[in-house]
Structure 1
Amino acid sequence: MRPMRFIDCHAHLVPPHVALDDIAAAVEACAKEHVYVIAVTESVSEWPTLQQLWNHGAVNRGATNSEAIGTPRNLGSPTHNHYHAQVALCGGVHPVQPNEAYTEAALNQSPNDIPSTLPKVRAVRIDECTSAWSQALPTQLPNHPEWVGIGEVGLDYSPHVLRLAGPEPSKAAQRQVFVQQIQLAQRCQLPLNVHSRQAGRYALDLIETHYGSIPSGQAAGASTLHAIPVLLHAFDGKPSVVRRGLALGCYFSIPPAVAFDPTFQRLAQLVPLDRLVLESDTPALGPVPQQPNTPTSVKSSAEHIAQVKGLTLAQVADATTRNALRLFPRLRALWPWANDYDL
C-alpha cells in the first residue's frame, strides 16, 4: 500500500525568504512526512540560488546565473539528498520586488538609522524580465526537467503596492511583465503559478486573452475536463471571480491559513475537488497567524478540505496529488513515485 503523499504547489524555499539552516530542516521533515514541494521564486536573482540548492544542497554566493546551471552533484549532504528528492523548481518574477535601496541601507546601517520613508519593496519594472539569463531560459529549460513551471508571477493591486510607483504606471508595468511571463510559459509549455492579490479579475482578463475564452456551452463554475495550465495561488477574489476562474479551467491552491481565514475557507468550499491543490506559501500563510510556516503544514490544508467536503484525508491527499501531477506534468519524470498514479 502506497503512503499518503502531499504536494505543496507553492513555497518560498529559498533564501532570503527562508534561512539555509531552516531549509535543511524543512526538507528533512518533508522527506519523513512524504511531502513534496514546488519551490517558487519572486525575482531573477533567486533563480540561480534555487538551482544551486537543487544541484548541490549548498549555495555559492559568488556564482553567476550561468554557473548555477549544471549537472546535479551529490556532495553527500542530507540537504542535497533531500532537496534533490523532495523539491521541484518554478522560476518567475513577482509583481512586487525588493527595494535595492532599502537592502543596501539594511546592510550598512542599524535598523534605527534607516529612514522610515524608505520602503522595503518596490513595484516591478518593465525591464525586469529582459535579462540575458531570462531570455535564455527557453533554451535552458528543456535540458533541466527540475524546472516544472513559471512562477511566482502575476499582479498585485494592493494599495500600498500601487502607491510605490503610482497606480497607473505600476499597473501598466505589472501587466507587461505578467504577459511576458505568460508568453514564456507558453513557449516552454509550462504551467503558470499566479499571484493575484486584489487583482483576480484583471489577472483572469490576461489569462483569458492568452489561453482562450470559456468553451461554448460551459456553465460558469462548472467542473469539467477543460483545464488550462494555470494555478491561482492563495486566491482572494470574490465568488463570482472564482467561478470565472473555474470556467476558464484554472486550478486553485489552499494554504494552511484556511484554518482561520474566511477567504480561503470560502475558496475551499467553492472549488470542486478536481481543481484543488495544496500550498504552504512558506514562510507565510501558516495555520497560526504571524508564525513562520513550513511545507509540511499542507497536511492541515488537506484536513480542512476533507472536513468541508465530507471526505477522508487519504481521499484528499490522493486527489490533490493527482491534480498537481496533471497541472505540472514534468513532476512525473522528476519523481519516479508519481508514475504510481493513473491520471
Structure 2
Amino acid sequence: MEYGFVDCHCHISAREFEEDLDDVIERAREVGIKTLIAVTEEIGEFNRVLQLQERYPDLVAPCFGVHPLQPERRSVTPQDLDAALQQFYNHKEQLVAIGEIGLDFTPWCVSTQQDRDDQMKVFVKQLNIAKELDLPVNVHTRSAAKVAIETMREQGVSRALLHNFAGKPSVALEGVKAGYHFSFPPAVCRNRQRDKLIKQIPLEHICLETDSPALGPEKHERNEPSNVTLSCSYIAHVKGLSPQSVQMITTQNAYKLFPKAVRR
C-alpha cells in the first residue's frame, strides 16, 4: 500500500489561497498529499469549504467549527455558535470532524472572566455536537492546554487532535493517556523549542499538519499544504526515525482518527 501524507489541519478555504488555489492543490498532490482536513473558524467559511470539497472531492475533507477567537481577534460568544448551529446538522454527512474549536486564553486577546466563560460554553457545546454526530474534534489550545484536555476528558471525548500543540510534555502525556493525537506545523522547524515535547509523545499519537496559510517555515511568508513534508522530516529528525516511517505511521494515525476522510 502506498502511503501519502495527510495534512490534518489546514485552512484551505482562507482568502490567501483564492488567487492561485489550483497551483497550491497541484503542489500538494505533487508531494503526495492524499487528504486535506480543511478546518473552518466561523460560519462565513462553511459554504466555501463545502464548495472546495465539490471542486476537489478526492482531496478536501471538510470540518465545521467556531473558533475561540472570532474575526477582529475578539473572544467568541454563544451567539456566534447559535448562528451556525443548524449547519452542523444540515451537513453532517459531509463533515469529517468538528473544528477548529477550542480555548484561547492568550492575555492580549482574552482579558475578562466573561470571555473565558463564553469560550468554555462554546467549546463544550461543540464537543457535545461532535459526540452526537459521532465525529472527532480538531482542537486549538493556546495558553489553555491543560484546561482543554481536562474539559474533553470530563465531557467523555475520546477522539481529538490537538493541533500546533505547545503545552508542557506532562500535559501532553495526560492527553496521550486519554487517547488524543497531537500535530505540529512546519513552524516547529524554526527553533528547537518543541523538541522535548515531540520526543516524549509516542509516534502513534502524532499527526502532521501545516495550519496553512499560517505557521510556515518562514515567519512572514504564506504557508501551504505541500510544506507538510517539512513537518514530517523534522519529527523524524527529532525522534531519530526515517521520514518514511513517520509518514506511514502519521497517515495511519490520521485515517484512524478521521475515518470519514478515508477515500474508498
Query: Which range, TM-score by smaller chain?
Result: over 0.9
Instruction: Compare 290-299 and 273-282 and name the one that shifted more.
Output: 290-299
1:36-82 per-position Cα deviation (integer Å, ceiling 9, x unaligned): 21110000110011112222xxxxxxxxxxxxxxxxxxxxxxxx3xx
1:129 maps to a residue whose letter is L
Q: Tell me the percent identity.
A: 37
TM-superposed deviation, 1:94: 0.3
The two structures, once aligned, show a CA RMSD in angstroms of 1.5
SS at 1:303 equivalent: helix
Q: Does 1:92 align with 2:48?
A: no
1:208-243 per-position Cα deviation (integer Å, ceiling 9, x unaligned): 11117xxxxxxxxxxxxxxx2100001111121111
Distance 1:182 1:261, change over 3 A: farther
Q: Decide whether the 8 Å contact of 1:208 with 1:248 is kept in 2.
A: yes
Describe how 1:193-212 pairs up with structure 2 within 5 A: 193-211=138-156
Q: Decide whether the 8 Å contact of 1:155 with 1:178 is kept in 2.
A: yes
2:208 maps to a residue whose letter is L
SS at 2:6 equivalent: strand
Describe how 1:282-321 pairs up with structure 2 within 5 A: 282-321=212-251
SS at 1:285 equivalent: coil
Alignment-derived partner of residue 137 in structure 1: 88
Distance in 2 of aligned mates of 1:182 and 1:278:
22
1:155 to 99, 103, 106: 103
1:142-194 per-position Cα deviation (integer Å, ceiling 9, x unaligned): 3x2xx20000000000011113xxx2010000000000100010001000000
TM-superposed deviation, 1:310: 2.2
Q: Give the gaps of 5 or more residues in structure 2.
A: none
2:118 maps to a residue whose letter is A
TM-superposed deviation, 1:3: 4.1
Distance in 1 of aligned mates of 2:155 and 2:27:
39
Alignment-derived partner of residue 203 in structure 2: 273
TM-superposed deviation, 1:20: 1.2
Q: Decide whether the 8 Å contact of 1:196 with 1:235 is kept in 2.
A: yes
Distance in 2 of aligned mates of 1:19 and 1:5:
22
1:269-315 per-position Cα deviation (integer Å, ceiling 9, x unaligned): 11111000000000111122222111111111111121222221111
Alignment length, in residue pairs?
Answer: 263
1:137 maps to a residue whose letter is F
Asked which structure has the greater CA Rg, the reply is 1
TM-score w.r.t. the length of structure 1 is 0.73
1:130 maps to a residue whose letter is D
SS at 1:211 equivalent: coil
Distance 1:139 1:49, change over 3 A: closer
Q: Decide whether the 8 Å contact of 1:155 with 1:197 is kept in 2.
A: yes
1:231-272 per-position Cα deviation (integer Å, ceiling 9, x unaligned): 000111112111111111110001111212434323221111
TM-score w.r.t. the length of structure 2 is 0.94
Which has the bigger relative contact order, CA under 8 A and spacing at least 6?
Answer: 2
